[in-house]
Structure 1
Amino acid sequence: MKKITLTTLLLFVTLSSTFAQQEKGIIGFKNWLDHWTDFKPNKAKYAKPTQILSGAITKDTKLYKSDTYLLLGDVFVTDSTTLVIEPGTVIMGDFKTKGSLTISNGSTIIAEGKSTDPIIFTSNRSLKKPGDWGGLFILGNAPTNTTDSNTILNYGLNANDNKNISYGGDNPESNSGILNYVRIEYAGKRTKNHGYFNALTLAGVGSETSFENVMITFCEGNSVAVYGGEVTLNKFVSYKSSSNDYNVNYGAQCKITNSLAIKSPYVSKAESSRCLYVLNHDSLESTDLTKTATTVEASNLTLINISSDLDYDIKIGLVNEAIYIGDEVSFTIDKSVISGFNPAVILDNTIKINNDNLNKLVFTRNYFNNCNGNIFTKYRNNNDDLENWYGSSSFNNVYSKGPDSETFIDAKSSSRPDYRLRINRIVASRNE
C-alpha cells in the first residue's frame, strides 16, 4: 500500500510540474518544434528544380512532392484560382529573378503539410543567404482602416493588372486558404524603391483562413506582416530574422497564440528589429479613423534574444526592445515570456499615459526576464508611472534575472532547441 501511495504521489508531483511548466510562454506537453522545424536549413540538400512556375496561374493547380518547383520572377495565382500544395513539396525562389508567389484577392492557397512532411519554401542557391528570394503574399477581401478600400500592395511586384496586387474589402470572414506545417527560408529580397520583402505578407486576409505551424527562418525583411484583415496565428516561429518578427498594421485584428520569436543581436538590424511591431497606420492622411483600429491579442508567446554577452551587446547598441506599440492601438499580452531585451516594451511617445490608453494596453501574467528595463515611453528617461501601473499585483507579472540555461529547457541546442520555460525559475521569482 505504501509503495502504491508513493508511486501515486510521484506521478502527481510530476504531472503538477508539467502543468505548471506550461503556464507561461509557449505551451505543450511535448516540444511541438520537433520533427517539422529546421534551425539549420543551410545543411539541407534538395533536388534540383524539375518544374518552373512563372507569370500567372489562372486555373486550379496542384504541386506534387515528386517534383521540385522554381518560382521564376513574380508568380501570381489569379482569377479565383486554387493552388494546392502536397505535403513534402519543395518550392524554390529563384535568386537571379528574386522569385515570389502572390495569392491574389479571391484566389486560394491550400498548403497543408504534415509534421513529418512539411512544405518548404526556400532559396535555389547552394549557399543560401537571407534575402535570396522574395516571399509569399496572400491577399484577401477583409477590411483595413485605409481610406482606399482597395489598397495596392506596393512592393514593385511585376503584375499585369493592379487587381492582382490589391487587397481589402468588406468581408472579415473571407477565406484565402490554409498554411499548416510550412517553412519559409531565406526570403526578404531587397528592392531598389520599396525596401525589403516580408517572408509572409497577409494583407486583408479574413478569419476563415487558417494559419498554424509556420516557421520563418533567416529572413532579411520582416518575417510576418499583417496588413488589415482578421487573422489568428498559432504555433508560429520566427528565427533570427533581420527585421521585425511580427509586423501588424492598417487596422488588423490579429491574434497570436503559442508562438515564438528568436532574435540574435548579431543578425538583427539596428533600430529596426523587434519581435512585435504594432502600428495603426503609417500616416493619418491615408487612414480612416472611423474604421476599426489595430488590435493585437497575444497569449503564450516566447520572445527571446539569444546573446553570448547580453550586457556588452546592449552597451554597443545591438539589442532593441521586444515590443513596439504605436498610437491608437489596442494591445493585450498574457502568459508570455520576454527575455533579453533593451527594454522589454516601448510605447510610442504620442501615446498619452492616461487611464483610457492604459486600459487598451494590457500586460498580464507575463514573465519579464533579463531585460534592461520593462515598459517605457519612447524618449522618456523616467518610466516610474508605467512601472507602478504594470508592477501592480493585479497584473501578476513576474520579473527575473536568469540566464537562458536556467530559464528555458534547452535554448542552446542548434538542431532541436526547446524554448519552453523551466518551472523552477517561475516559482523562485514570482512577485506576489
Structure 2
Amino acid sequence: MKRLIFTIAGLFMFFGVLTAQNNIDNPFFEHVPFRGAFGTNDWTVGWTNWNPQNTNYPVATQEISGEISSNTTWAPHSSPVFGGASFINSNLQDPFFENVSYIGAFGTVDWTEGWTNWTPQFSDYGTPDVIVEGEITQNSTWTANHIYLIKGYLYVREGATLTIEAGTLVRGDKETKGSLIIERGARLIAEGTASNPIVFTSNQPAGSRTYGDWGGVILCGKATINVPGGEAIIEGGPTSMYGGGANPDDNDNSGILRYVRIEFPGIPFVPDKEINGLTLGGVGSGTTLDYIQVSYCGDDAFEWFGGTVNAKHLISFRTWDDDFDTDYGFRGKLQFLVALRDNDIADPGSGSNGFESDNDGQGSQNVPVTHPIFSNVSIFGPKYNLSTPVNANYKRAMHLRRNTKLSVYNSIFTGFPTGLFIDGTASQTNATNNELQVENCILSGMGSFFASDFERQYFLTQSRNNDTLVTNEELMILDPFDLTSPDFLPSPGNTVYLLKGYVYVRNGATLTIAPGTIIRGDKATKGTLIVERGGRMIAEGSVDNPIVFTSNEPVGSRSYGDWGGVILCGTASINVPGGEAIIEGGPTSIYGGGANPNDNDNSGILKYVRIEFPGIPFVPDKEINGLTLGGVGSGTTLDYIQVSYCGDDAFEWFGGTVNAKHLISFRTWDDDFDTDYGYRGMVQYGVALRDPVIADPGSGSNAFESDNDGQGSDNTPITHPIFSNISVFGPKQDPTTSINSNYKRALHLRRNTAINVYNSVFTGFPVSLYLDGDKTQQNATNGILNFRHNVIAGMVDYFYSNFERSFFMTENFKNDSLFDIASLEVTDPFNFIAPDFLPLPNSTLLSDSYWDNTGINDEIPLNFSVNDIYPNPASDKVYLRIFLDEPLNISFKVIDNLGRVVFASNQGEMSSGEHLLSIQTSNLNSGLYILIVNSPSGQVIKKIMVK
C-alpha cells in the first residue's frame, strides 16, 4: 500500500527547529518568473567595476588604524557645513567678523591644536613654589619658571596690572576656594602662545581632579550693564563691583587673555552662586579674549554679565552647567566657539544647556537689552547619536528666555534633548520682530528639534535658511565626540582612506561611510576592517556613487589578496558549542551571541558596495574572505555588493541569520558562496563569474561550498540557508576551454548541511553537484536539503555519482540539464570586461521559477503509516497508532524547538499490521515538538503539542 504522507508543509514544521522563517515562500523573496539572477533588468549596471586593475583610484589621503570607539563618519565629499555661511545680515557687517565660507567653528584648520588639553585629569603639573593670596595693588609679573598657587580670593586692585608670561602654570587651592579677580580699573595680561599656553588648573593630584576644585577667573570692567544704577556685585562670592555706573566706558580694557586654559574651576560659594570658569562682568570691548579653553567647570564655562567685550576661539569642554551664558545687557560679538559635552554630566539644579540667555533675572525691559551676536559656533551636545543615553538634567541646545535678543548665525547645534526653546512672550515677540535671530544654522541629532510649534515655524521660515538633520553623522564632522582627542574638522573633499592593519569598530560605535567614499587597504600591514559585536557599519552607497574598498597598490600591480577584507561580527545564533567563537582570518574578534543570541541583531547596512582584491592570507587556510559574516543577524542589510579578485572566498557566512540580495562574485580564487556553522539566512539574486586560469590549489574552487560545521556534526542550528535566483558562470565557457585543474564543483554540499537552492543556473564546472557524505545525502533524501527548479549546463561530469543524478532528476523537483551553455541563450556572460548576464528573449531561464512551498505534495512511497496520534495536545503520554505493510525496523525521536532530541526509541523489527506505541511527555516542557518516525523506506514527520 502506497500512501501520500510526506509533504513540504510537513517539512516546514521540521524546518521550524532550524528557523521559523526559511522558506521559499517567505516574503523576503520576490516571486519573479525567471530562473537565475536576471530577467530583463541588468541590476549590475552603473555601480560595478569589471576592470579594477586598471582603474585610476586617487591616492589615499588619510590613514586609519587601531580602533573606532565612537561614532565616526568617512566621506569623500565636503561636509554640508562647507560653503553654507552667509555674512549679509547687517548684524555681521562688522570688521570683527571673518567672512569664512563654512558653518560652525571649523573649516579646514583645527585651531585647537597645540595649546589645548583634553585629558587634564592626568597631566603632571608639578608642585607650586609660590603662594599668592590677598591682593595685588601694583604691577606684578608671574614667570614661567615658577608654579603659582592661588589661595582664597586674590584681588588685582584698580590701577594694577598682573602680567603672566607664556607657559606659566597657576594652580587653585581647593580648601580656600582659590580665585583670581581682576577688579574695575585693573588689568590681566595673560598672553600665552600656541606652544606655550598659560594654564590655570586644580591643585589636586593627578587622578583626583574634578569639577569645582577651585574658583576661576573673574574680570570686572566699566562697560554698560542693564542693572539699575549701572553697577552690581559680581556673582560668585567676591565683593567686587562690575559695570560703569553712571559713567560707563564700553571701550574699557581689562587686559588680554590669549592661549589660556582654565581647568576644574567653578567652585560653589553658596547654592546658585557658583563662580564660573571665566566670568566677565561689564567687561569692555578694549579687552582681548582669544583662544581660551575652559574644561570641567562646575558651573557655566563662560558667563557674560553685561558689557561689550568681543571674543574668538573659545572652548567649553565637559562643562557642568551651561557652555555660554549671556545676560544683564551683554552686547559683544563672538566668533569661532566650540562646546563638547559629557553625556553623563549635567547640572541637577538649573539643568544644562549649550546657550542660555536672559535680559536679566526677571526678564525686564531694562536697557541695554541683552543682544550678543554669535557666529560660527559648534555645540556638540551629550546625545552623540540617537541611542546615546544622557543625563536627565540635560535640557536644550539653546534656551533663549527672559526678553533676550541674542542672535546667532552660521552655527551648528547637535545632540540635546531639545534643540531650540524661545521661552516666554517677550523673547518670542523679539523673535517675531526679528530682533532675536537664528539664521543659517543647523540642528542635528536632537531628541526634539523644537520645544513647540512656535520654534518650529520660526526656525524653518525659508528666509532664515536654517536646516535640521536627523543624525549627527549627516554633518560629516570627522570625530567630534571623542572626549580624549576630538576632531572637530568637517570632512574635506576628496578624502581617500587607507586601512593600515586591523581596524576595529568597537562595541557601541557606528562607522558611517558616505556614498562615493573610497577606502584602500594597505598590503604590508594587511589592512582589514572588522566591525565587532555591538558595532555597526552604515555603508550605504548608491548606483551612481558606490562605496569602494580596494587595493592600495598602483594600477597594473593589483592582485588577489592585496589587503584583508571586510568582516562583520554579530550576536546571532551559531552552532559552535557555547554559541560564540573567534572569527576566521586573524583578528581576535568574537562572533555569535553566546548563551543569549539575538537573531535580529543589526550590524548595519552594506548597499552598493564594491570590495576589490581582498583575501590576504593570515596563515595557511586562515585567509580573510572578501566579505566575512560571523553570526550576523537579520536586522542587517546586505544589498548590491560586488567582491572582485578575492584571494579566498568572496562571501562566507559563519552562522547567523542575515539575508542578502544582489551579490556578485567576480574572478574569485576559492569559493564564491560559502555557508557553515549554522547559517540560516535567505539570499536572492547572486551572480558569479569565474576566471578559467585562477583557482585555489589548496582546497580547490567551487561556486557553492556548504557545511554544517568543520566536522559535519549534528550541532544546531543546522546550516540551512535558502538561495534563489543565482547564476554561476563557471570556468569552462565551452567544451574546448582549458581550465585550472584545481576547479572542482559548482556545488559541494557536505558535512551535514541542509542548504536549499531554487530557481538557479550553474554552468561550466568539472562537476555540477556533489552531495558529500552520508548525513548530507540523508538530508537530501529526507527533503531537508532541497535543489529544485534549477538548471545545469556545460559541465564535464554532471554528477559526482548516481546518488546526485537520481536526486537531481527526481521528476517533481523540476530541474533541467543542458549539454552546452550556449543553449541557455544568455547574452554575453563570459565577457570579463563588460559581461552581459541577461537572458535572450527565448531563453529557457525566463520561465519555470518556483515559489509555492506548500503546494507540491511530493509523493514518497512508504511501507508504513502513522494513522493516529492521541491525545494531542498531551500532558502525560501520547500514543502512536502505526500500520506496517510488511515487517520493518522502526525507530522514532522527538525534537524540541531548539533542534534537540528529547526522546528517542529504537523498536527494532516490527511485524506487519497495526501497532500502538507510547511516548512519555510528562517530563517535557509545554510547547510544540516534532516527531520523526524512521524506517528503511523513509520517514514520517508529525507535530506533537505538549500542554
Q: TM-score, normalised by structure 1?
A: 0.86
- Out of 53-62 and 25-34, give the one that drifted further: 25-34
Structure 1 residue 310 displacement after superposition: 4.2
Question: Structure 1: which amino acid aligns with 2:370?
Answer: T
Match of 1:374 in 2: 449
* 1:100 maps onto 2:176 in alignment: no
CA distance in 2, matches of 1:120, 1:181: 9
Match of 2:316 in 1: 238
Selected match of 1:302 from 378, 384, 397: 378
Residues matched between the structures, number: 403
Structure 1 residue 360 displacement after superposition: 1.6
Higher helix share goes to which structure?
1
Q: 1:72 to 1:356 in 2, by over 3 A?
A: closer
Structure 1 residue 135 displacement after superposition: 0.7
Residues 351 and 394 in structure 2, CA contact (< 8 A), matched pair in contact too? no
Tell me which structure has the larger Cα radius of gyration. 2
Match of 2:111 in 1: 32
Selected match of 1:398 from 448, 455, 467: 467
Root-mean-square deviation (CA, aligned residues, Å) is: 2.8
- Deviations along 1:23-49, one digit per CA (max 9) or x if unpaired, are 111124221111101110112101211
Q: 1:407 to 1:93 in 2, by over 3 A?
A: same
Match of 2:457 in 1: 388
- 1:26-425 → structure 2 map (5 Å cutoff): 26-126=105-205, 127-157=208-238, 162=239, 164-169=240-245, 170-192=248-270, 195-270=273-348, 271-283=350-362, 289=365, 291-307=367-383, 310-311=386-387, 313=389, 317-351=392-426, 353-354=428-429, 357-376=432-451, 383-404=452-473, 407-422=476-491
- Aligned residues: percent identity? 27
Structure 1 residue 334 displacement after superposition: 1.2
CA distance in 2, matches of 1:341, 1:243: 13
Structure 1 residue 401 displacement after superposition: 1.8
Question: Structure 1: which amino acid aligns with 2:453?
Answer: D
CA distance in 1, matches of 2:383, 2:399: 20
Q: 1:60 to 1:196 in 2, by over 3 A?
A: same
Please list every run of 5 or more consecutive structure 2 residues that lacks an aligned counterpart in the other structure: 1-57, 62-75, 85-100, 494-511, 516-947
Residues 361 and 402 in structure 2, CA contact (< 8 A), matched pair in contact too? no
Residues 384 and 472 in structure 2, CA contact (< 8 A), matched pair in contact too? no
Question: Structure 2: which amino acid aligns with 1:142?
Answer: A
CA distance in 2, matches of 1:220, 1:132: 8
CA distance in 2, matches of 1:193, 1:403: 35
Structure 1 residue 141 displacement after superposition: 0.4
- Deviations along 1:374-405, one digit per CA (max 9) or x if unpaired, are 233xxxxxx33432332132221121122449
CA distance in 1, matches of 2:475, 2:402: 36
Please list every run of 5 or more consecutive structure 1 residues that lacks an aligned counterpart in the other structure: 1-6, 377-382
Q: 1:355 to 1:210 in 2, by over 3 A?
A: closer
SS class of match (1:257): strand
Structure 1 residue 366 displacement after superposition: 1.1
Structure 1 residue 16 displacement after superposition: 11
Q: 1:389 to 1:191 in 2, by over 3 A?
A: closer
Residues 168 and 229 in structure 1, CA contact (< 8 A), matched pair in contact too? no
Structure 1 residue 311 displacement after superposition: 4.0
- Out of 365-374 and 175-184, give the one that drifted further: 365-374
Question: Structure 2: which amino acid aligns with 1:131?
Answer: G
- Deviations along 1:166-223, one digit per CA (max 9) or x if unpaired, are 4433101100000000000000111235532111100010001010100000011111
Residues 25 and 421 in structure 1, CA contact (< 8 A), matched pair in contact too? no
- Deviations along 1:142-187, one digit per CA (max 9) or x if unpaired, are 0100012221124322xxxx5x444433101100000000000000
Q: 1:118 to 1:405 in 2, by over 3 A?
A: farther
Residues 231 and 241 in structure 2, CA contact (< 8 A), matched pair in contact too? no
Residues 391 and 397 in structure 1, CA contact (< 8 A), matched pair in contact too? yes
CA distance in 2, matches of 1:304, 1:357: 27
CA distance in 2, matches of 1:290, 1:120: 37
SS class of match (1:55): strand
Question: Structure 1: which amino acid aligns with 2:376?
Answer: N
Structure 1 residue 89 displacement after superposition: 0.3
Runs of 4+ with deviation above 6 angstroms: 13-18
Residues 241 and 263 in structure 1, CA contact (< 8 A), matched pair in contact too? yes
Q: 1:16 to 1:46 in 2, by over 3 A?
A: closer
Residues 294 and 330 in structure 1, CA contact (< 8 A), matched pair in contact too? yes
Question: Structure 2: which amino acid aligns with 1:135?
Answer: G
Match of 2:891 in 1: none
Residues 257 and 288 in structure 2, CA contact (< 8 A), matched pair in contact too? yes
Structure 1 residue 312 displacement after superposition: 5.8
CA distance in 2, matches of 1:14, 1:305: 24
Structure 1 residue 328 displacement after superposition: 2.3
Structure 1 residue 406 displacement after superposition: 6.3
Q: 1:405 to 1:131 in 2, by over 3 A?
A: farther
Match of 2:806 in 1: none
- Deviations along 1:343-370, one digit per CA (max 9) or x if unpaired, are 1111113337458644122221111111
Residues 322 and 341 in structure 1, CA contact (< 8 A), matched pair in contact too? yes
CA distance in 2, matches of 1:179, 1:300: 20
SS class of match (2:462): coil
CA distance in 2, matches of 1:68, 1:25: 36
- Deviations along 1:318-353, one digit per CA (max 9) or x if unpaired, are 431111111322122111111111211111133374
Residues 123 and 185 in structure 1, CA contact (< 8 A), matched pair in contact too? yes
Residues 326 and 356 in structure 2, CA contact (< 8 A), matched pair in contact too? yes
Match of 1:23 in 2: 102
SS class of match (1:293): coil
Residues 480 and 486 in structure 2, CA contact (< 8 A), matched pair in contact too? yes
